[in-house]
Amino acid sequence: AQSVTQLDSHVSVSEGTPVLLRCNYSSSYSPSLFWYVQHPNKGLQLLLKYTSAATLVKGINGFEAEFKKSETSFHLTKPSAHMSDAAEYFCVVSELRRQLTFGSGTQLTVLP
């Protein structure tokens, strides 16, 4: 069975400093992994996806994530946070069952 654990429910960073949102997954098969972002009162938006090609995945708005099979991790990073990055971020896994399994989310706060 597939599952996702987001290790931090809240992360707070200062504008211009790096962002790290941590995610560990469990999957019996070769999974696809995604990061989605949800801004208040807006729909979920895909940031990036991993589907067994390059292990370092680049997404929109300067975000990237690295798939590490040995650590079963898929952490999301950004070199420099912007105020507009404040939102809830979800790590998501998908395997043969096709539907997405979401983590519980990490609320990112960006301080001025």
Partner 1 sequence: DTGVSQDPRHKITKRGQNVTFRCDPISEHNRLYWYRQTLGQGPEFLTYFQNEAQLEKSRLLSDRFSAERPKGSFSTLEIQRTEQGDSAMYLCASSLGGQHYEQYFGPGTRLTVT
Quick check: 1 binds partner 1 (CB under 8 A)?
no
Task: Please identify, among the stretches 14-22, 60-68, 70-78, 102-110, the one whose residues bind partner 1 according to the rule CB under 8 A.
Answer: 102-110
Residue 24 or 32: which CB sits closer to partner 1?
Answer: 32
Rounded-to-5 percentages of helix, strand, coil across the chain: 5, 55, 40
Q: Where in 48-87 is the site for partner 1 (CB under 8 A)? A: 49, 51
Contact 5, 24 (CB under 8 A): yes
| Alpha-carbon distances, residue 38 vs 23, 70, 105 (angstroms) | 16, 29, 9
Nearest approach in angstroms of CB 56 to partner 1 is 18
Quick check: 8 binds partner 1 (CB under 8 A)?
no
